[in-house]
Structure 1
């Protein structure tokens, strides 16, 4: 092995020790989370409703129903998840904390209420994002470990890549008939090679979810450095009208305006900013439970006046890339095949710290065994050498 590769192996090994446990936890939780929508749809009846031939209940009515009997509680987010799915209101209650209230969008009847922290898949997501540590600390630990993992994948490819063309065919397959140590070695190297490209994409999109600097880097790179200041504008309501107008129906007006402008959208998210100058934001998503293709709207919270509309087609490449981030990260950008690829890649990533540790342990034991044999050999030779008398 060349001095360069020896150095690379040293770096690869110790970075693996540093990040291995976190990489395993993040990968296995990502693996579990990939099919969370399908699993929850199968086990929770409240995630589906009977389709009725009438329009959805207005968002103001859904908010009022979700807040009923909760003194001092607030609700800023209203979701319409699509045909055959419930509506949802995110409630902040002083006593119970965050609550997600599901309602029938055709009748306004509450079908289920839960704390996000009690949902198994939300817990898995929290572990995945920040290991259930304080968010600012856990996010940093996960982020650093993911960056290290990307370095490990690259150094691993360099260390493993076969020199001779004749060895490449053998190197790209697992020798299942070999001894278990050989199989483990192949599992680490061969599966690691096949998963590398997907794993790096998952790592980058994961970092983008947690860190502004990564989102900005993707935005800048996709736009080839070109600035789009209009996409960074934060639209505000005319706060001078605060208290002077009846605003009870403005959120309904905003929703209906967005629905009329995006008639083919399947899912809607309505955000009512509580700040005096805050606007009402409506995002219309092309497909239910998918977050890539969307039209964004901002409305004055006092008059309902449209302040801005950004259709998906109008968005810059960088904005589109950041919008598709979640769908790429969980694989659903390609539908069920994409989720399967993300699942398998995450499973392989979870296995790499384990197979890598076994390889290191085997080499360590082999090294100790060689040292013992050498010492025994020397003693034996000395015992049989003739002595001067």
Structure 2
């Protein structure tokens, strides 16, 4: 068996084994790309008028949110931007909600059940196939790894053997027979989407595996690890003196002062006495790349660590960029359109590939049938 035939067999059987999962993951990813735009059109509580006054501190907004769902714990608080409502995460056991509030007045705008939210369901479908995460994650990850192998093997199979074949590799023959048209759709679209498809697949795997992201970051740093930049500061649990203000308010005020240009702020919970309070200031609303990271003592509010965006290594910046690369956010609306298109093409490849295989099986049976009749 030649090398090309071996690659063809590998491409075929891996495609048949993973095709359905790749289809689901790709389609759900395509839908999720425009989640913010669709939410803004269908969820009016997300947007509000900018007011000429300071926003309320997180402790006030958390208290209002907790009153809306008695017995629930208010924790992560996200100031989404000057013209957007602030979201407070509410949880009790497996029940989870988002309370959306006007950060200028404290008015409660909406309490949203995350388990019934459409895009939360799409996200879990994309990441876990709606299975228990411990099971679904492995199934999806194996399928994505298989998809990476298939994209590479597909390029090998696509590669023209001579100049004459090269002319036929870059366009779909729309006037040809349905079988030929399907064959071209699989090969031509697969080739054009392969590079960006690899980016989407590999960035997705980096979200799943921290060690992979660390490896990519080290590669961007010329071999220098980014582990030190990811290290969390230790919390002195012997320090228990309570400040005059809530720790979350101290953290919020500090970030407002030190990262004045940040449009979006994330303030973590203070429920664990041994874990620092995670806080992040994002340069642009609903974008996650350009960010200053802070850690505070959960009892005293003391600043334990600050990592401005400009001080980060190239590897760390690449790690911060990973989600925006995965969703196309890094290039704004145009990047989302590209990610959406590539996701749709990725979803089509298992279908067109299956039809190519089925057509060949049908042809093989047609050629074998006269022999069987003659033998009879």
TM-score class, shorter-chain normalisation, is: over 0.9
Give the CA deviation at 1:376.
4.2
Q: Could you tell me how far apart the structure 2 residues matched to 1:160 and 1:107 are? A: 60
1:197-212 aligned at under 5 Å gives the runs: 197-212=195-210
Q: What secondary structure does 1:225 align onto?
A: coil
Give structure 1 regions of 4+ aligned residues with deviation exceeding 6 angstroms: none
1:261 paired to 2:254: no
Q: Is the 8 A contact 1:29 1:127 kept in 2?
A: yes
Is contact 2:289–2:324 with CA below 8 Å preserved after alignment? yes
Supply the distance in 1 between the matched residues of 2:317 and 2:249 (Cα, whole angstroms). 28
Per-residue CA distance 1:216-257 (angstroms, 9 max, x = gap): 222222222213454133124432233x42464222121111
Task: Give, in whole Å, the separation in 1 of the partners of 2:65 and 2:234.
Answer: 27
Q: For 1:156-204, what per-residue CA distance to the aligned partner results, in whole angstroms no more than 9, with x for missing partners?
A: 1111211112321222000001111111000000000000000000000
In the alignment, structure 1 segments of 5+ residues that lack a partner are 380-389
Q: Is the 8 A contact 2:272 2:298 kept in 1?
A: no
Report the secondary structure of 2:225's partner residue: coil
Query: Aligned residue for 1:52?
Result: 51
Distance 1:158 1:228 in 2: 34
Question: Residue by residue, what CA displacement relative to the aligned partner does 1:236-288 show, whole Å, maximum 9, x if unpaired?
Answer: 4432233x424642221211111111111100000124211222222000000
**Which residue is 2:165 aligned to?**
167
What secondary structure is seen at the aligned counterpart in 1 of 2:238? helix
Scaled by the length of structure 2, what TM-score is found? Answer: 0.96
1:353 aligns to what?
350
CA RMSD of aligned residues (A): 1.6
C-alpha separation in 2, matches of 1:316 and 1:137: 35
Q: Distance in 2 between matches of 1:97 and 1:375?
A: 63
**What pairs with 1:30-109 in structure 2 (closer than 5 Å)?**
30-68=29-67, 70-94=69-93, 97-109=95-107
Aligned partner of 1:151 among 145, 149, 152: 149
2:327 to 323, 327, 330: 330
Distance in 1 between the 2:332 and 2:276 partners?
Answer: 34
What SS does the corresponding residue of 1:239 show, helix, strand or coil? Answer: coil
Structure 2: tracts of 5 or more residues without a match: none
Structure 1 residue 69: Cα displacement:
5.6
- 1:1-389 matches, cutoff 5 A: 3-68=2-67, 70-94=69-93, 97-228=95-226, 230-242=228-240, 244-246=241-243, 248-376=245-373
Paired residue secondary structure (1:40): helix
CA change 1:247–1:74 in 2 (3 A) is: farther
CA contact (8 A) 1:236 1:300 kept: no
Q: Distance in 1 between matches of 2:148 and 2:349?
A: 13
TM-score for the superposition, normalised by structure 1: 0.93
Paired with 1:344 and 1:370, the residues of 2 have a C-alpha distance of 39
Tell me the equivalent position of 1:387. Answer: none
Q: 1:228 to 1:345 in 2, by over 3 A?
A: closer
Superposed CA deviations along residues 130-179 of structure 1, whole A, max 9, x for unmatched, are 10111011111100100001111111111121111232122200000111
Name 1:386's counterpart in structure 2.
Answer: none
Aligned residue pairs, count: 376
- 1:262 and 1:102 map into 2 onto residues whose CA distance is 23
Q: Which residue of 2 aligns with 1:384?
A: none
State the Cα deviation string for residues 108-139 of structure 1 (Å, max 9, x = none).
Answer: 11101112111111110100001011101111
Shift of 1:75: 2.2
Secondary structure of 2:167 counterpart: helix
1:292 match: secondary structure = coil
Larger radius of gyration: 1
Query: Any idea what SS the aligned residue of 1:217 has?
Result: helix
SS in 2 for 1:92: strand
